[in-house]
Every structure is written in C-alpha cells, then in structure tokens.
Homo-oligomer: A and B are copies of this chain.
Amino acid sequence: MRREVTLRDVAELAGVSSRTVSNVVNGYANVTARTKERVQRAVDELGYRPNVLARNLAQGRSGQIAVVVPYLDTPYFAELLQSVIRAARISGYNVLIDQTDGDPEHERGFIAHGSRRLLFDGVIFSPLGLDQQALADRDPALPLVILGERTSDGTFDHIGIDDVAASRQATEHLLDLGRRRVAAIGDQPYATGEAAQLRTRGFRQAHEGRGRPVHEDLIIGTPRFNRPDGARAMAHLLDGENPPDAVFCYSDLVALGAIHAILARGLRVPEDVAVIGYDDIEDGRYSNPTVTTISPDKEWIATTAVERLLLRIGSSTPPPGLELRAPHKLIVRESTTGTISRQ
C-alpha cells in the first residue's frame, strides 16, 4: 500500500511550511488569500486528508464523547440517543456508545482513570449499578453529565425531570378517576434505586394530598423496568387477595407488560384496571390500548446534556455542577380513560 499523503507533502508541493498548511486546513486566521489558495490547490491535487489519529495525539483530545446507558434496546434510551448523536454531530463530535447492562464494574470502568480515558473528552452517563458514593470516586478531570436520578455533588451536571412531582401527578390522575386501590410497580428499595424511590415518594404524596390511604401491599418492586418484569409483577398483583383497580408503572415498558398480563386474564383496560406509564415512548402511542404516560422532554434533555458537556470540555476551570430539571407533562390516553378520549 502506498504511503498516505501527509501535511509535509502538501507543504512541499505548495512551497510553504507545514505550519502554514495546518493553518489553512484548520481554517485558522493569518493566511493570505494567495497562500491559502496555493495550499488548497496542493491539497486537492494530492488528495490530502488530515490524519485524525495524529491530530488527536498532538492535541491530547479525541473529539469523541461517550454516552453510557444501561440498555440500548430500551426505547427510552434509543430515542434519547438519537437526539444526543444529532446534537453532538453539530458540534463536530463523534459519539461512542456503550451499554453496561447495569453492571457496576463496567460502569466504573467508564468514569475511572483507566486507559480508555483518553478515548473520549467527556461522558454522558446514565448510571444504574453505581450509587452516589461510587460516582464521587472517579477521575476528577473527566467532564461528566449524569442523566436520571442521582443528585449532583457539585462536580458534575445532573439532568432529570422532577420525578417526585411527575409521579405525584400520575398518581393523582388515577385517584381523580375515582380509583381506590392504586398499585405501584417498579419500586427499588436499595442504594442504586434512587429514581424508583423518588417515584414511590410521589406516589405516596398523591395519596396524602387526596386524603387516601396507601395500600402498602400494592407497592411491588421489580429488578428492571422492562416488559417481562411488568407482566410478572402485574400477574402477581392480580393473583393477590385484593387486586388493584389502577396501576402506576415506573416505565412505559412496565406498563405495556402489565397491560399484557391484564388482558391475558380476560380483564379490560381501563375498565377493570387503569394503567399509567412513564417515559412516553412511541410504543405507547400505538399500542392497544394506547398508554397514558408521563412525558419527559427528551429533546431538551439530550441537547442540554451535550451543551453542558461541551462547555465542561472547553473550560480550563470546571464550571460548577448544576442540577437541571427537564420539563415534563402528563399525556392522557386510553389506558386510563378508555376510548372516549380517542382522537
């Protein structure tokens, strides 16, 4: 294979120094129109294209950001990633994606001072297996933006919706429909289950606010927020002594699984059991019945995450870590109000 065309080759042909070629290629100032044109011609003639690897080494940066999520095939993340990639591309960044399966070791590897560290200039991270403590114990020089429920300790930005408020709102919606035995599927009463716990808190607040008792036996935990877990939990509830007449699910996938389980028993949604989800993924807009849900502004989350991360990457002195609240809203569909609301 013949040698690649280098900057020096171009410089030689154009009769200038490599410094000047570099200036032209990178669009820096201080180049006469004449030299610029001469260089440009040489570039075209030789078919020169810069070697990214060399540039990376010289600059000490990779031009990549990493986005680390627990599961890629979760529609919520897939939809979010889509927007992140777009936003990053606009700023000239490539996106390295990895999924961790929620494995703490794997997650740690991404924020630790490891050998992969230089592969990306910053990380947008949605942790699942790492608690607050493990998060704090990381490469302090790594620009980091956290998605989901972890509180910022001031050294990174955190972006999420107000989970407590959103969950309260969701639960109130069910209570206001006159439902009396409202269940919750998705609680995770352990260190890494912060997000779930916030939702459970909102669930309780709604009951308090409406002066209704919380049915503790109707709060069900699930290891993950996916369809199978949702179906399993719902089946369990329906097998119980006093099955619920409404369910607040901690994700739309859980809701879809739950609905599947309800219908499988010949019961109706929402007549027998009303179901509300969380995330507003596209599935819920086309399912039968369509799913009432809490809709976070994913576009806002994605663009803000990229924006904040690039700002961090570009700053010599790290900006203070912010707590950012993304907008959200309740979207009412058939799974709580029936076909009446069909548009």
Contacts and interface: CB of A to CB of B under 8 A. Distances in A.
A81 B72 contact: yes
B78 A82 contact: no
Given A57-B54, A141-B1, A286-B257, A82 B75 contact: no
B49 A57 contact: no
A99 interface: yes
Contacts of A104: none
A115 B52 contact: yes
Contact of A282 (B116, B227, B264): B227
A71 interface: yes
Copies of this chain, complex-wide, total 2
Contact of A98 (B56, B94, B231, B285): B94
A342 interface: yes
Contacts of A78: 72-73, 75, 78
B227 A117 contact: no
Interface in A171-226: none
Contacts of A71: 82
A52 B113 CA distance: 13
A119 interface: yes
A287 interface: yes
A171 B51 CA distance: 51
Interface in A38-83: 47, 49-54, 56-57, 60, 62, 64, 71-73, 75, 78-79, 81-82
Contacts of A98: 85, 89, 94-95
B99 A53 contact: no
A263 interface: yes
Given A57-B53, A60-B53, A141-B1, A288 B288 contact: yes
A152 to B, nearest CB: 23
Contacts of A53: 53, 56-57, 60, 62, 118
Contacts of A79: 73
A314 interface: no
> Most B CB atoms within 10 A — which of A72, A98, A289?
A72
Contacts of A287: 256, 260, 287-288
Contact of A82 (B54, B99, B113, B115): B99
A166 interface: no
| 4 cross-chain pairs, A with B, having the tightest CB-CB distances, nearest first | A73-B78, A49-B115, A97-B97, A260-B286
21 contacts: A49-B115, A53-B56, A53-B57, A56-B57, A64-B96, A72-B85, A73-B79, A78-B78, A82-B99, A85-B99, A94-B96, A95-B97, A95-B98, A96-B97, A227-B282, A227-B285, A227-B286, A256-B286, A257-B286, A260-B288, A287-B287
Given A73-B78, A287-B287, 13 more contacts: A50-B115, A52-B119, A53-B53, A73-B81, A73-B82, A85-B99, A95-B97, A96-B97, A97-B97, A227-B285, A260-B286, A260-B287, A283-B283
